[in-house]
């Protein structure tokens, strides 16, 4: 029905229609804006990839955050600044949650406002060692719900994307999960993560043992949560589980899995909460629930708990394995 027809109908009842017309236009505008935002996110991700590709081949200055396995480089920081600056210039009223910004002391607050959730380099340890699985992850949330997600596996040149209700794609090719419902026929993916305390290590190794005993076909670790989850969306793997990651690692890829026909839940079997730092992404609900029954979680402070991200700490310098390494006391709180 045209806007003119709406005017005609409402004029019969002498009702004001200007608010109705404005609301229709605003809703249409908002829908168009999210598509425009997504296209812009893809554009700047492609630009950021060029920075990562150049730095991938050269010696890097490395800093430590919460543990000897929690690394950050100047390129992580540069790419995040580049992405946020570009978005701010185009969408000055939007908000941001960025991994390196939070590590530097910014508060992690997810509101109902349009918010970009950014991991400039997911797989920093891979990046440092030139292990070729490194990704840019960009999610966009409104009313605390992810509206689109972009994961760019830079070295592979695979750009995964999804918009709510419109399917998932890799380099514009539609994606679909395997649909596997029998866990004994599944290939799983997980990550060891940066946690190195005894409880976390014992839980992670115990979970691997529990799943292999089911049995499953195998368990893999690529080194980037965002790419791991995208592998579920392609059907290349059947399920992914992880405890201890952060919202910027999985916000984009969780939507990509869902739009490819998969399911995403908490490791306790409840509804997925990106701030809870626990996730199972799977080809089917039956597989997801079987994993939830098998594994245990170690305690993690929520991402939106202010205690989880202390202020920026002092940095000391040292050298390690041919890379300049800077030890940071503090950073992300250890688990």
Active site residue 214: no
What is residue 119's predicted lDDT score, i.e. its pLDDT? Answer: 98
CA distances from 182 to 56, 92, 298 (A): 39, 48, 26
Residues of the chain with pLDDT under 70: 1-33, 308-335
What is residue 313's predicted lDDT score, i.e. its pLDDT? Answer: 35
Give kind and range of the element (H or E) at residue 83.
helix 74-90
Give kind and range of the element (H or E) at residue 98.
strand 95-98
70, 80, 100, 249: the catalytic one is 249
What is residue 310's predicted lDDT score, i.e. its pLDDT? Answer: 52
Active site residue 259: no
With CA atoms as reference, report the closest residue to 33 among 83, 90, 85. Answer: 90
185 vs 245: CA distance, rounded Å? 26
What is residue 17's predicted lDDT score, i.e. its pLDDT? Answer: 37
Binding residues for Mg(2+): 99, 119, 121-122, 249
Active site residue 99: yes
CA distances from 108 to 95, 116, 285 (A): 11, 12, 31
Active site residue 119: yes
This model's pTM is above 0.75: yes
Q: What pLDDT digit, counting tens, does each position of 136-147 carry? A: 999 999 999 999
What is residue 7's predicted lDDT score, i.e. its pLDDT? Answer: 43
What is residue 5's predicted lDDT score, i.e. its pLDDT? Answer: 46
What is residue 63's predicted lDDT score, i.e. its pLDDT? Answer: 86
Active site residue 304: no
Binding residues: 99, 119, 121-122, 249
What is residue 273's predicted lDDT score, i.e. its pLDDT? Answer: 98
């Amino acid at each position: 029905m045209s806007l003119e027809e709406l005017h005609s109908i409402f004029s019969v009842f002498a009702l004001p229609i200007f608010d109705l017309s404005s609301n229709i236009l605003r809703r249409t505008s908002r829908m168009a804006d999210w598509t425009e935002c997504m296209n812009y996110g893809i554009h700047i991700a492609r630009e950021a990839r060029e920075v990562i590709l150049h730095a991938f081949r050269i010696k890097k200055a490395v800093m430590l955050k919460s543990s000897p396995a929690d690394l950050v480089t100047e390129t992580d920081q540069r790419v995040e600044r580049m992405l946020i600056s570009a978005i701010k210039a185009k969408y000055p009223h939007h908000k941001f949650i960025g991994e390196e910004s939070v590590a530097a002391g910014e508060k992690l607050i997810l509101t109902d406002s349009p918010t970009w959730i950014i991991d400039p380099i997911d797989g920093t340890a891979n990046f440092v060692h030139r292990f070729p699985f490194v990704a840019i992850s960009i999610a966009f949330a409104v009313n605390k719900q992810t509206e689109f997600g972009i994961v760019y596996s830079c070295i592979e040149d695979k750009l995964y994307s999804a918009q709510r209700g419109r399917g998932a794609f890799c380099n514009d090719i539609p994606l679909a999960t395997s649909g596997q419902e029998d866990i004994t026929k599944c290939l799983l993916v997980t990550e060891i993560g940066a946690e190195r305390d005894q409880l976390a290590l014992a839980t992670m190794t115990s979970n691997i043992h529990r799943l292999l005993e089911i049995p499953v076909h195998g368990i893999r670790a690529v080194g980037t949560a965002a790419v791991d989850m995208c592998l579920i969306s392609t059907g290349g793997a059947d399920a992914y589980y992880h405890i201890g990651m952060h919202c910027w690692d999985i916000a984009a890829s969780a939507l990509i899995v869902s739009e490819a026909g998969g399911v995403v839940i908490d490791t306790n079997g409840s509804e997925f909460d990106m701030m809870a730092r626990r996730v199972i992404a799977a080809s089917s609900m039956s597989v997801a629930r079987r994993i939830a029954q098998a594994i245990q979680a170690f305690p993690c402070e929520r991402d939106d708990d202010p205690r989880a991200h202390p202020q920026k700490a002092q940095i000391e310098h040292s050298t390690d394995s041919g890379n300049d390494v800077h030890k940071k006391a503090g950073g992300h709180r250890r688990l």
